[in-house]
Each structure stands twice: as C-alpha cells, then as structure tokens.
C-alpha cells in the first residue's frame, strides 16, 4: 500500500471507530462483528473488505473497540493534536491546522528550534538560566539556539517534548537537557525537501 493510501485508510478507520462508538451511545465495549455490520450499513463496504483481509488490522481494531469510551476519546484527541502539530509544519497545511485546532499548531519558535538543532549536527542541548534569561547551548556541537520569542520558550519546549520531537533529561545539577529525536530530524528534512 502506498504511503498516501495507508495514511488515508488509517485516519478513515480511526474516525469510523470513533463515530461507531459515539453512535452506539458510548457503550464501554463494542463487538468487532457489530462494527463490521455498521460499516456495511453506513456504506463503508470497502473499509470493511480491507479489514477482513488484514488479520493484523482486525486484531488492532478489536483492541480499540474494547477500550473504555473515555480512554479511547482521550487518545483520539491526542492523535488529532499531534497530527495538527506535525501538519502545521508544512506551509500548505498550516492554515487549515490553525483554523481547526489553533492550540495544536507548532509555533514558528518551535520550528526554529528544530531547524537549528538539525543544522548544528548536534543531538543535545543544555538549558541554563542566566540573568539575561534562558540559554540553550549545544553540548555536542558549536553554538547556541537563537530563540525568537523567549516569553513562550518553556511552552514551546514542553510541546516539542510532548510530541516526541525532543526528549527531556537532566544533568547531575538538575539542569534540563533536551535530546533531538530521529522523528524531529526527519520532520525538518521533509520540510526542506
């Protein structure tokens, strides 16, 4: 399956599971066979066929249908937020992401941090507090991150950590260390291709 088709199928199935659970009145658990019947009734026979021909997908859908409604909705909300955050990195999708979910779009400051990380070749940053504000120094490369908007720096860093674009650790003195992830590097490279 080509990447676009796989992405669309994934998002369609996730959306249909959410819709099915919602229409069934939020019952705590739903049966897979009920979901298949519902797919046919709602004119999604092609999705039903794809599921029936993929045993791994059947198992995954069954697990999702067994989850409690609140937990499932919380995870779906997290996926939606993550998707908007990542998609907003691409200028073609940014406006739509901001319009639909303004709180999830990554700021230009957050993108700048990722771009500087990638171009430095470094993998770790040390956050230190000075009289002039917060400094982000590379531990394994030359220089520092130039911050566009110091006011929301902590918010941007926390968002990047939550999205797994950075990981957070600390040194022996308790100072925060941010680690650049493979996912972040790939995102930056795709933005520039």
Q: What is the pLDDT of residue 146?
A: 93
> Which residues, other chains included, contact 108 with Cβ-Cβ below 8 Å and sequence gap of 6+?
148
Best-predicted range by mean pLDDT among 11-20, 115-124, 125-134? 115-124
Please say if the pLDDT value at position 125 is more than 90: yes
Q: What is the DSSP string of 27-62?
A: -S---HHHHHHHHHHTT-HHHHHHHHT-HHHHHHHH
Per-residue pLDDT tens digits for 91-103: 777 778 767 776 6
Binning pLDDT at 50, 70 and 90, where does residue 4 land? Answer: very low
Per-residue pLDDT tens digits for 34-68: 888 899 999 998 888 888 888 898 888 888 888 87
Round the average pLDDT of the chain to a whole number and report it: 84
For residues 139 and 122, give the distance between their C-alpha atoms in angstroms, rounded to a whole number.
7
More confident residue, 58 or 30: 58
Q: What is the pLDDT of residue 155?
A: 92
Residue 134, strand partner residues = 129
Binning pLDDT at 50, 70 and 90, where does residue 157 land? Answer: very high
Q: What is the pLDDT of residue 80?
A: 76
Binning pLDDT at 50, 70 and 90, where does residue 104 land? Answer: low
Average of per-residue pLDDT across 70-80 = 78
Contact criterion met (CB below 8 Å) for 149 and 109: yes
Please say if the pLDDT value at position 144 is more than 60: yes
Residue 169, strand partner residues = 177
Average of per-residue pLDDT across 149-161 = 91
Question: Does pTM surpass 0.75?
Answer: no
Contact criterion met (CB below 8 Å) for 137 and 128: yes
Contact criterion met (CB below 8 Å) for 140 and 122: yes
For residues 169 and 80, give the distance between their C-alpha atoms in angstroms, rounded to a whole number.
26
More confident residue, 12 or 161: 161
Average of per-residue pLDDT across 163-192 = 91
């Amino acid at each position: 399956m080509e990447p676009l088709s796989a992405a669309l199928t994934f998002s369609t199935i996730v959306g249909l599971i959410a819709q099915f659970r919602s229409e069934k009145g939020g019952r705590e658990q739903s049966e897979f066979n009920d979901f298949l019947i519902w797919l046919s009734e709602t004119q999604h026979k092609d999705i039903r066929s794809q599921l029936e021909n993929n045993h791994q997908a059947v198992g995954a859908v069954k697990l999702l249908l067994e989850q409690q409604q609140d937990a499932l909705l919380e995870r779906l909300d997290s996926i939606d937020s993550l998707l908007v955050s990542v998609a907003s990195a691409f200028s073609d999708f940014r406006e739509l992401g901001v319009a639909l979910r303004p709180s999830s779009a990554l700021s230009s400051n957050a993108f700048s941090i990722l771009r500087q990380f990638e171009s430095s070749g470094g993998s770790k940053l040390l956050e230190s507090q000075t009289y002039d504000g917060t400094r982000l120094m590379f531990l394994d490369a030359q220089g520092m991150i130039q911050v566009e908007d110091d006011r929301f720096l902590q918010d941007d860093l926390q968002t990047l950590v939550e999205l797994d674009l950075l990981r957070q650790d600390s040194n022996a003195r308790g100072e925060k260390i941010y680690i650049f992830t493979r996912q972040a590097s790939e995102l930056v490279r795709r933005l520039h291709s």
